[in-house]
């Protein structure tokens, strides 16, 4: 059994400290921006646009993650201790809140960079879809590194287990309880999703359609060149469905109607993505119709 007694502080000089969590977060954000610039360039888009929208998403995602944690998980505590709202180094980021923050930041960015002839989302209907299908590629990579940071912080631990790979978290609790390393589970899943999206991107080179999770999707619907958001919805479905499942091995504070808060927050995204895929299949010319 592994004992996680890793010091969450990497470097400390006086009142200044660098935590492993911050290192992984900063490193993943920088790597994601670099990947976005490469993806934009490969699609004939301006790499500077990737940097601009990437900065917006980074700020929006962090703000959304913090606000989401406060509102969804511990509102009473922060109302009683308002100074803790800005103490982000004490932990407290929500992946669901980060998702909302990313969406809001993306919409705002596209609106303020719109031309008069553009759609309400800015840059034209095709353009924002094109951006979205590229932007989702590195997002799970960032999520994976954040979970590794959670592991180094001994937070968001798993439930008790006697499995051979169980981990003790002395910084989380004094008792020697073996727990699921749920942070590592989530990190590995996130990296796998990143691999799937990158594979889809590579398959879509030169206008070739990426293989869709639904084989019945017609090529023209799966084509990134057509900007039909197949990669975007693939990410939404894979990330939140696995997040729903991983909650079964994560420690929780309370249950609402048999599910954790994380599971309830994942349900709308899962339902939406499944509904979108069903809509595309029904819309497909190859779908059998009477008459």
Tens of pLDDT, residues 158-184: 999 999 999 999 988 878 899 999 999
Give dist(CA 61, CA 99) in Å, integer. Answer: 7
- Residue 68 banded pLDDT, cuts 50, 70, 90: confident
Q: Are the beta carbons of 143 and 191 closer than 8 angstroms?
A: no
Give the other-Cβ count within 10 Å of 180's Cβ.
Answer: 21
Tell me if 119 sits within 8 A of 128, measured CB to CB. Answer: yes
Residue 209 pLDDT exceeds 80: no
Q: What is the pLDDT of residue 160?
A: 94
Q: What pLDDT score was predicted for residue 90?
A: 61
In angstroms, the CA 86 to CA 79 distance is 12
C-alpha–C-alpha distance, residues 121 and 133, integer Å: 15
> Which of 249 and 216 is assigned the larger pLDDT?
249
Summarised one tens digit per residue, pLDDT across range 6-64 is: 999 988 887 788 889 889 989 999 999 999 999 988 888 888 888 888 889 889 988 88
Whole-number pLDDT of residue 161 = 95
pLDDT (tens digit per residue) in 108-156: 888 887 554 444 444 445 467 778 889 999 999 999 999 999 999 998 8
pLDDT band at 219 (very low <50, low <70, confident <90, very high): very low
Q: Give the pLDDT of residue 148.
A: 95
- Residue 117: per-residue pLDDT: 46
**What CA–CA distances, in Å, run from 88 to 30, 115, 166, 200?**
19, 37, 28, 35
pLDDT above 60 (res 107): yes
The β-bridge relationship of strands 16-19 and 9-13 is antiparallel
198-209 average pLDDT score: 68
Residue 225 pLDDT exceeds 50: no
Please tell me which residue, 207 or 131, carries the higher pLDDT value.
Answer: 131
Q: Is the pLDDT of residue 98 over 80?
A: yes
Residues in the chain: 291
What digits encode the pLDDT tens for the residues 231-279?
899 999 999 999 999 999 998 767 777 888 889 989 999 999 999 988 8
pLDDT recorded at residue 45: 84
pLDDT at 6: 93
Instruction: State in Å, rounded, how far the first CA of the chain is from the last one.
Output: 64
Mean pLDDT of 74-95: 73
């Amino acid at each position: 059994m592994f004992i996680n007694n890793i010091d969450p502080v990497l470097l400390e000089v006086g009142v200044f400290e660098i935590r492993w969590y911050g290192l992984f977060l900063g490193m993943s954000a920088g790597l994601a921006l670099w990947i976005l610039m490469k993806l934009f360039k490969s699609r004939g888009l301006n790499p500077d646009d990737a940097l601009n929208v990437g900065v917006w998403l980074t700020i929006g995602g962090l703000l959304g993650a913090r606000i989401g944690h406060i509102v969804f998980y511990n509102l009473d505590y922060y109302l009683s201790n308002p100074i803790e709202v800005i103490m982000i180094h004490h932990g407290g980021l929500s992946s669901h809140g980060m998702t909302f923050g990313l969406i809001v930041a993306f919409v705002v960015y596209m609106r303020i960079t719109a031309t008069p002839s553009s759609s309400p989302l800015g840059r034209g209907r095709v353009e924002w879809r094109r951006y979205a299908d590229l932007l989702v590629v590195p997002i799970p990579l960032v999520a994976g590194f954040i979970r590794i940071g959670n592991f180094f912080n001994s937070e968001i631990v798993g439930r008790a287990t006697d499995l051979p790979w169980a981990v003790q978290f002395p910084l989380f609790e004094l008792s020697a309880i073996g727990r699921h390393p749920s942070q590592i589970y989530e990190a590995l899943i996130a990296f796998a999703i990143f691999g799937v999206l990158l594979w889809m991107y590579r398959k879509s080179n030169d206008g070739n359609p990426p293989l869709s999770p639904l084989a019945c999707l017609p090529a023209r619907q799966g084509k990134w060149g057509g900007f039909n958001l197949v990669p975007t919805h693939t990410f939404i479905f894979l990330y939140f469905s696995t997040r729903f499942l991983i909650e079964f091995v994560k420690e929780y504070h309370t249950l609402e109607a048999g599910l954790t808060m994380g599971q309830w927050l994942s349900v709308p995204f899962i339902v939406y993505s499944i509904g979108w895929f069903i809509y595309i299949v029904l819309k497909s010319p190859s779908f059998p119709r009477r008459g």
